């Protein structure tokens, strides 16, 4: 997995671990493990830490590989056909494309992130600043393919996709889907990088640049099980 950091929520072994879900239809999820994935800059680190500290479920055991802190597999361009932990369900977090690009440059590591996402690094290196990236008008990170893969690639396990921008409003639905209970609600903090704070001219360029990506983002439900 290279430099990807891993966060696993391991549920204690049971004969069956079926969770009732009521969201338009009745379905059953049978799982023993949860793994978090992310396209990067979309809340998986927060979600992992929160699940560890603030979710109450006697059947959950948490395993880590980095100093006892929870992390997700970040940037993996497509869901793997085999998971590190068997009988798992995955949670994939993603964000609005404008904030994703802004966040990648905000971390001052756009090229490393691009490479991990399977993007066109050589092309992106021609645009070392966010301003030059926007002026060029081409997404070399590969946002569309990344999200489309996680939405549509068939895997032997179930995937939950949740939008970063709606983590707070959809958190209860997510926990209901997993059959988990919270001790207390988490404290949500505003993003450090928010495209809404950009000048109108820059926002218009981003809207034009990410037209296809934003259309895909908009048409996916806030929380979806695939």
| φ and ψ at residue 17, rounded to 5 degrees | -140, 70
pLDDT computed for residue 148 by the predictor: 95
Query: What pLDDT shows up at residue 220?
Result: 95
Residue pLDDT tens, the chain, 226 long: 332 323 333 332 232 333 333 333 334 455 667 778 888 878 777 787 777 666 555 344 443 333 334 455 667 888 888 876 666 778 899 999 999 999 889 877 899 888 888 899 999 999 999 999 999 999 999 999 999 999 999 998 888 999 999 988 998 898 888 877 777 778 888 788 889 999 999 999 999 999 999 999 999 999 999 8
Q: Does residue 2 belong to any structural domain of this protein?
A: no
pLDDT at 132: 96
Could you give the count of Cα atoms lying within 13 Å of 61 in the half-sphere of its Cβ?
Answer: 7
Residue 1 lies in a domain: no
* Residue 7 CA to its chain's centroid (Å): 13
Instruction: Say how many domains are in the chain.
Output: 1
Residue 194 within a domain = yes
Nearby residues of 129 by Cβ (< 8 Å), 6 or more positions away:
105
Q: Considering the domain boundaries, does residue 163 fall inside one?
A: yes
Q: Between β-strands 33-38 and 88-94, what pairing exists: parallel, antiparallel or unpaired?
A: parallel
Structural domain range at position 71:
7-225
Whether 190 maps to a domain, the answer reads: yes
């Amino acid at each position: 997995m290279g430099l990807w950091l891993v966060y696993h929520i391991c549920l204690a072994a049971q004969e069956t671990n079926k969770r009732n879900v009521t969201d338009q239809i009745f379905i059953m999820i049978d799982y023993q493990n949860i793994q978090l994935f992310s396209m990067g800059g979309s809340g998986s680190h927060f979600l992992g830490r929160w699940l560890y500290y603030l979710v109450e479920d006697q059947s959950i055991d948490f395993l880590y590989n980095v100093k006892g802190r929870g992390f997700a597999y970040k940037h993996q361009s497509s869901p793997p056909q085999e998971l590190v932990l068997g009988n798992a369900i995955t949670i994939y977090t993603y964000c609005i494309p404008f904030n994703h690009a802004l966040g990648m440059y905000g971390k001052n590591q756009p090229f490393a992130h691009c490479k991990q996402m399977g993007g066109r690094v050589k092309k992106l290196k021609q645009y070392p600043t966010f301003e030059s990236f926007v002026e060029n008008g081409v997404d070399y990170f590969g946002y569309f393919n990344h999200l489309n893969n996680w939405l549509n690639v068939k895997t032997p396990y179930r995937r939950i996709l949740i939008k970063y921008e709606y983590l707070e409003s959809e958190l209860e639905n997510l926990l209901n889907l997993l059959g988990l209970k919270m001790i207390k609600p988490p404290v949500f903090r505003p993003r450090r990088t928010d495209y809404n704070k950009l000048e109108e001219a820059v926002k218009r360029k981003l809207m034009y640049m990410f037209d296809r990506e934003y259309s895909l983002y908009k048409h996916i439900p806030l929380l979806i099980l695939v």
